[in-house]
Structure 1
Amino acid sequence: MDTDENQLVGKYAKHNSPAWAKARGWRLTVYSNSLLLVMGAVFLASWWLQSVAGTVVYNAEQLEHGQPSVSWTGYVTSADFWDRTLQNWQSEFLAVGSMVTLSIYLRQRGSAESKPVGTPHEETATEAE
């Protein structure tokens, strides 16, 4: 069960738990889902940056061949964009590395990959008490 006591938040937080794990309301909700929020933002930002850079490169190639340029929307709906996106293995390595690093400080309530929300940053493993 995903209870506040299991997650070590609110009144169940330890004395050395992160401050937002001790908080109530929106701050606890944000901190409890901080890993999802940050990784989602990183994904969307990298996808958007790749789409903008890809539009520039694609339009330069179009110009070289005497073809008309396309809008950002036109590029994002093109096969070229999706081919480049799905072939981009560097983003996979960045995502895994980010997840490992960010999971030290951020939490996702109820996730088996994340330690309980109220666990202190320096604690690397949780044991049944």
Structure 2
Amino acid sequence: MTGRRTSSGPRSFWRNNSLTIVFGLLLLVFVVGQAVAGLAEYNESARTDGLQQLSFPRYVTSSSFAVDLLENWQSEYLQFTLYILLTVWLVQRGSSESKKVGEEGRESDEAQLVGAHARSDSPPWARRGGWRGSLYSHSLVGVMALVFLLSWFAQAVTGRVAENDLRLRDRLDPVSLGDYLVSPDFWSRTVQNWQSEMLAIGSMAVFAIYLRERGSPESKPVGVPHGATTSDD
């Protein structure tokens, strides 16, 4: 019997990684768009206040641009950290974003293909078990949470610098990092992003009960009943 042929080369690389590539390109486009719009807004404010305007390279390396960028990044990683973690234990009947009711929890080693139940092509640390297996079992949430914390801290640092730039214009004393962490500016930037992420992820879980997108893995098949959590209910 002849096995299915697998292609190689640039075309197959694109096909195998098209989702990541497209989102990477969209990220680049939107970051550039944010930089262009942010620079225009910054320079308009500088002209009004009689201050020096910035060039594009100077702006994209400034704290003003960095804090706006990072406050969105940290909220996105918080969203997915919480979503991945909470969907281990919490369910929404009928949603394709949820496990079936009754399957809450970490699941058995057999279901997770770890240790003695691992396959020959399972990741090495999943086969070995022990502390390596335990660490690998929580690696996704761990990395997501780490990126969230790092980007949140970077937001605090760059936000403080941007805030002190504004205070310098008004001839006010600069604030320390500790003072900035309890300031209205820091928490306003933070909470306004957090609430929007919770709205998006929560509404997606509910919409997925009743609405469909044919061919998308984020949706149930079009003809599956609303009450079915997965296609085999």
Structure 2 residue identity aligned to 1:12: H
Given candidates 162, 175, 196, the residue that maps to 1:57 is 162
* Greater fraction helix: 2
| Corresponding residue number in structure 2 for 1:48 | 153
1:36-95 CA distance string (max 9 Å, x none): 100100110110011000000001111111111111110011010011123448xx5xxx
| Corresponding residue number in structure 2 for 1:34 | 139
How far is 1:23 from its partner?
A: 1.2
Structure 2, unaligned stretches of length 5 or more? Answer: 1-105, 202-231
Percent same amino acid among aligned pairs?
48
Q: In structure 2, what is the Cα distance between the partners aligned to 1:72 and 1:7? A: 44
1:85-111 CA distance string (max 9 Å, x none): 23448xx5xxx9xxxxxxxxxxxxxxx
Structure 2 residue identity aligned to 1:24: G
Q: In structure 2, what is the Cα distance between the partners aligned to 1:32 and 1:50? A: 29
Structure 2 residue identity aligned to 1:21: A
| Corresponding residue number in structure 2 for 1:72 | 177
Q: In structure 2, what is the Cα distance between the partners aligned to 1:43 and 1:2? A: 26
| Corresponding residue number in structure 2 for 1:86 | 191
1:12 equivalent to 2:131? Answer no
Q: In structure 2, what is the Cα distance between the partners aligned to 1:24 and 1:10? A: 5
Instruction: Tell me: higher relative CO, structure 1 or 2? Use CA pairs within 8 A at least 6 residues apart.
Output: 1
Q: In structure 2, what is the Cα distance between the partners aligned to 1:67 and 1:79? A: 16
Q: In structure 2, what is the Cα distance between the partners aligned to 1:15 and 1:22? A: 8
Q: In structure 2, what is the Cα distance between the partners aligned to 1:25 and 1:13? A: 13
Number of matched residues? 92
| Corresponding residue number in structure 2 for 1:25 | 130
Q: In structure 2, what is the Cα distance between the partners aligned to 1:88 and 1:51? A: 14
| Corresponding residue number in structure 2 for 1:113 | none
Q: In structure 2, what is the Cα distance between the partners aligned to 1:32 and 1:42? A: 18
Q: In structure 2, what is the Cα distance between the partners aligned to 1:75 and 1:27? A: 39
Structure 1, unaligned stretches of length 5 or more? Answer: 97-126
**After TM superposition, which residue ranges in structure 1, 4 or more long, deviate above 2 angstroms?**
86-89
